[in-house]
Structure 1
Amino acid sequence: MPMKAAPVQQPCGRFCILLCAVHRPANTVRVPKTPLSQPINPGLEENDRKRIPCPLDPNHTVYEDQLQKHLKKCNSREKPKPVYYVQDINAGLKDVTKIPEEQVPISSLSKEELQDLIRKLKTASNGISSILKDQTLSHQALKEVLNDPKNGECAFKHLKQQASILGHMEQLHLLGPGRCFVEFGAGRGKLSHWVDTALQDTENVHFLLVERATTRFKVDGKHRKRDSIFERLQVDIQHLCLNKIPILVKEKLPVVGIGKHLCGVATDLALRCLIESFATQDDGINEEPSAKRLKSDNTQAGSNNFTDKERSGENVSESYNTVAGIVIALCCHHKCDWKHYVGREFFKKVGLGQVEFNFFQRMSSWATCGMQETISEACSSDVECGAQSSDADEHDQAYNRPECNSDSVQGLLTVEERKQMGHLCKLLIDHGRIEYLQQRGYKAVLQYYTDSTVSLENVLLTAVPNQCSILQSTA
């Protein structure tokens, strides 16, 4: 009778491992495995290995004999630049005269020097209307949340500003299908979120959220649940070339530039990014026909009764210029920079230059530095402000600057005079931006979009191509 082969022993699993561990001979020594992250070179004891600061980021160290391997995977290594990154494309002048970092304090100016500076300011401002029209608007998309009693005072103020910005966009017929909304200095992306909410029934809508920081917020998760396409661009506006962004190259959608309290220099970088990215036809993007009106003159502003083709986004790009509109809430003029400022030609035309600009941009903080009590009390008891720290109005801290010291021009100007000069400096800087846009075929306007009790920086810059002719006069 043939012998049967012995059955193959199968692993008995966890119990067998435990049993073997119990019966392991007492003199058996287990050799610990060397961690893969720290391989020990042959012939070197652990204590003999030297750790050195990482040359890419000295905040952490690495074994000297593993340096080359570490540099290839270090999180601080220079990463490949995105296709839309073009070094200093929106930077402006490259040969600006160097101004010493320690600029002459305004408080050190003699009475004659300060009076001469103020005289130049008033002369340059002749012919510029210092009274802006109050255009506080709202939008249906935020009606429910504005009436929510759970909102704290700080949150309520942000919502009122966002509602007014959307109201202006609707008035300019910028809230429609077949567009790409580029939010500069996006932060949490709340402004884009509300634009998306207002456009919930439209199609072919894209959002580009431009922000230097890597942080993403919980509102991003809400975006993914909607049909609109959201994309974050982690890049400094100074290096952003819009006509190299893949989605714009492919779709050739008209762009709407938006921003809520885009600080100082960032506003100038954003304007140059929008206007000059499409100035050349290297990539064929700006071969679109000139902008036309989407609606007739007698169409009620703010109506969203789009045709079927408009709702699907078909042929809409043929009805708009590459940049269909700009809506930016301005702030922090004391952070402007002559090198990046778009209104240099205007300053030169009125007999001013870099020296005067550097004084005026610092003097602009006088417009709000007499209101520190109002600012500090605005959110002192609002628990929601802590959660919105990244959305907080940075300009609200302007009064902490040296120029805001009440003694900075003691005996030379009263508090009210300083406030007036500050507003005049801001107006002069903003008017240079208006002329920059006008010279490039846009109808640009400055207006108050909210009350000063809601935000001390309450001026909105809007612009649409001249051909649209739908911007109602707000002069």
Structure 2
Amino acid sequence: MEDGRCSFFLTKKKRFCANSTLKGSQFCGNHNPKTEDRRVPCPIDPSHFILLENLEAHTRKCPLYKQVLALKSQSFYTKGINAGVEDEDGDATLSDPVPCTFNASESISSEYNILLEDSEGNELSVISSGDLIITSDMKRHAIYKMSIADFLALLSKIKSIHQAIFLNIEVSSVMPEACSRWLKKELKQALPFQEKHVLQQASILGNMEKFGLLQMPAGPEILEPGHNDSSESHSTTPAVVEFGAGRGYLTHMLTSCYNIKKVFLVERRSYKLKADRSLRQEQDVILERLRIDIEDLNLEAVESLSCVPYLAVGKHLCGPATDLTLRCCLREQYHNNKAVQSLSKCNLRGLALATCCHHLCQWKSYINKKFLRNIGVTKEDFHAITWFTSWAVDADHGSTLTDVIDRGLHLPNIDDAGLRGTDVESLVKNMKDLDRAMLGLICKEIIDIGRYMWLQDHGQDAKLVKYVSSDISPENHLLMAKCRNPV
């Protein structure tokens, strides 16, 4: 360490900070221990912290400030348009809530991001614009504070609910002929992803074709990527909007196998190694990227999509992204009991969304809170259910998970030997792996069945399938829908 340099050691970089020290201190302004208790996350980019007294000045010169302004200036940006509300279906619940409370400060800033702590001083969450995000740590903390009796009552309640709403979700792994060149690796260029992703994407497209959302391309053979077909036979093929598109590899396969010529990729992040260049140059696809959070996307304001029939697709839409997408695509259906300001200028022909990361789901954004209330699920129950879903993906995804599907859930009994005097955390850790996995699977199904039923209740023919086996991906639910009475 050089004289006059900060004495703070950066563990990730394995060196001391190179900034100059403050007068009379061994540390720079960023690492001065006396200021740590006054630091808050930047409201524009929470990955870095600033002094509370410098907050207003910093927000005007933060490196991401101009980028955020550019995102918000887009014509299709409407803050929180698809976010949902806490009590959109009323305040009444049909059952008494199981004791399950969150110890978080209620003094939340409505203007800036701040840290929340529990009663023991543990960091729990970051607040953005006054919205409380219930993290997995917060959910676990609340569950572990429950009594043994209340915890067992909650497990019994979840089991009973699943039995009451049981839906036979078939395994539908469909490998369509249209994707044969990809599946057989008969492509001129190297595939940009692993084989398991090809199998997942092919089955998504195969199930869409089976469900009537896609049609097998006309002609004696399937076109491979790079072949330009300008025939008029595909002029009526709908456009595709991929939500949570990432690098666009699902769209890459979709356009090459089914001759889609107009696509919109919705993604809030910037990625390298995207499929965009191949789509534009080799496949002659008209492509438009919408860099925006799905929560803020007003699809009706996208001029190039106005009056254009389209399909909505998404692979592994994490947590609440599935609910946000449903609101985004079906705004009139979502507001069917409220005044709709204007008729939709978009024409949704169908959707296929592969759900994912149920442990990230939030009460506010969930699309069918009315369904949950009708089956006796409270907000606190919902938080617990979403946390349990992670147990399904923690399991062995080979033969073990197959065994789980074929057996029932065994609930621990309060009179079991060794259970008296323990706490919930100990009980959870001593549960059998198969029972934990089964509970996780049940909770995943409850969440997705609610989404399926919302689509059914709002004029859609819906279907929920397992589009690949669990050894390929434990996140294997595919939610599909199409309008019962298309215009």
CA displacement, residues 301-339 of structure 1 (integer Å, 9 cap, x when unaligned): xxxxxxxxxxxxxxxxxxxxx221110111110000001
User: Which moved further from structure 2: 253-262 or 222-231?
Assistant: 222-231
CA displacement, residues 146-180 of structure 1 (integer Å, 9 cap, x when unaligned): 22399899711000001011111212332363412
Indicate if the aligned counterparts of 2:200 and 2:468 stay in contact, CA closer than 8 A. yes
The separation in 1 between residues aligned to 2:427 and 2:73, in whole angstroms, is: 45
Aligned partner of 1:155 in structure 2 is: 194
1:57-72 map, 5 Å: none
Structure-2 change in CA distance of 1:348 and 1:281 (3 Å):
closer
The separation in 1 between residues aligned to 2:451 and 2:296, in whole angstroms, is: 20
1:356 aligns with 2:375: no
The secondary structure found in structure 1 opposite 2:195 is helix
Aligned partner of 2:453 in structure 1 is: 435
1:228-307 map, 5 Å: 228-249=285-306, 252-276=307-331, 282=341, 284-286=343-345
Indicate if the aligned counterparts of 1:254 and 1:323 stay in contact, CA closer than 8 A. yes
Aligned partner of 2:95 in structure 1 is: none
Aligned partner of 2:161 in structure 1 is: 124
User: Which moved further from structure 2: 98-107 or 83-92?
Assistant: 98-107
Aligned partner of 2:65 in structure 1 is: 76
Indicate if the aligned counterparts of 1:184 and 1:270 stay in contact, CA closer than 8 A. yes
User: Which moved further from structure 2: 88-97 or 352-361?
Assistant: 88-97
Indicate if the aligned counterparts of 1:132 and 1:447 stay in contact, CA closer than 8 A. yes
Structure 2 letter corresponding to 1:185:
G
1:175 aligns with 2:164: no
Indicate if the aligned counterparts of 1:242 and 1:277 stay in contact, CA closer than 8 A. no
Aligned partner of 1:220 in structure 2 is: 276
2:204 aligned to 156, 162, 165, which one? 165
CA displacement, residues 185-230 of structure 1 (integer Å, 9 cap, x when unaligned): 1001011111111233x6xx42110000022534110111233311
The secondary structure found in structure 2 opposite 1:324 is strand
The separation in 2 between residues aligned to 1:55 and 1:352, in whole angstroms, is: 34
Structure 2 letter corresponding to 1:138:
M
CA displacement, residues 28-72 of structure 1 (integer Å, 9 cap, x when unaligned): xxxxxxxxxxxxxxxxxxxxxxxx9999889899xxxxxx9x969
The secondary structure found in structure 1 opposite 2:315 is strand
Structure-2 change in CA distance of 1:149 and 1:156 (3 Å):
farther
The secondary structure found in structure 2 opposite 1:213 is coil
Aligned partner of 1:452 in structure 2 is: 470
Structure 1 letter corresponding to 2:278:
K
The separation in 1 between residues aligned to 2:387 and 2:250, in whole angstroms, is: 29
The secondary structure found in structure 1 opposite 2:320 is helix
Offset, 1:368: 2.0
Where does structure 2 lack aligned partners over 5 or more consecutive residues? 1-28, 31-41, 51-56, 92-100, 105-123, 125-137, 216-235, 401-423
Aligned partner of 2:39 in structure 1 is: none
Structure-2 change in CA distance of 1:169 and 1:433 (3 Å):
same
1:410 aligns with 2:410: no
Structure-2 change in CA distance of 1:406 and 1:189 (3 Å):
farther
CA displacement, residues 445-467 of structure 1 (integer Å, 9 cap, x when unaligned): 11111111111111111111123
Structure (1 or 2) with the greater helix fraction:
1
Structure-2 change in CA distance of 1:222 and 1:350 (3 Å):
same
The separation in 1 between residues aligned to 2:191 and 2:270, in whole angstroms, is: 27
Structure 2 letter corresponding to 1:235:
I
1:210 aligns with 2:266: yes
The separation in 2 between residues aligned to 1:281 and 1:247, in whole angstroms, is: 22
1:316-327 map, 5 Å: 322-327=347-352
The separation in 2 between residues aligned to 1:167 and 1:373, in whole angstroms, is: 23
CA displacement, residues 402-446 of structure 1 (integer Å, 9 cap, x when unaligned): xxx9966134x3222211111111111111111211111012111
Structure-2 change in CA distance of 1:281 and 1:163 (3 Å):
same
Determine which structure has more spread, i.e. the larger CA radius of gyration. 1
1:337 aligns with 2:362: yes
Structure 2 letter corresponding to 1:139:
P
Indicate if the aligned counterparts of 2:248 and 2:274 stay in contact, CA closer than 8 A. no
The separation in 2 between residues aligned to 1:182 and 1:227, in whole angstroms, is: 17
TM-score, length basis structure 1: 0.64
Indicate if the aligned counterparts of 2:455 and 2:462 stay in contact, CA closer than 8 A. yes
Indicate if the aligned counterparts of 1:107 and 1:408 stay in contact, CA closer than 8 A. no
The separation in 2 between residues aligned to 1:414 and 1:361, in whole angstroms, is: 19
The separation in 1 between residues aligned to 2:355 and 2:207, in whole angstroms, is: 14
> What is the aligned-residue identity percentage?
32
Q: How many residues align?
A: 343
Aligned partner of 2:257 in structure 1 is: 198
The secondary structure found in structure 2 opposite 1:447 is strand
Indicate if the aligned counterparts of 1:178 and 1:253 stay in contact, CA closer than 8 A. no
Structure 1 letter corresponding to 2:378:
G
Structure 2 letter corresponding to 1:410:
K
Indicate if the aligned counterparts of 1:184 and 1:259 stay in contact, CA closer than 8 A. yes
The secondary structure found in structure 2 opposite 1:453 is coil
Indicate if the aligned counterparts of 1:130 and 1:424 stay in contact, CA closer than 8 A. no
Offset, 1:108: 4.4
Aligned partner of 2:246 in structure 1 is: 187
Indicate if the aligned counterparts of 2:319 and 2:358 stay in contact, CA closer than 8 A. yes
Aligned partner of 1:292 in structure 2 is: none
Structure 2 letter corresponding to 1:345:
K
The separation in 2 between residues aligned to 1:435 and 1:231, in whole angstroms, is: 32
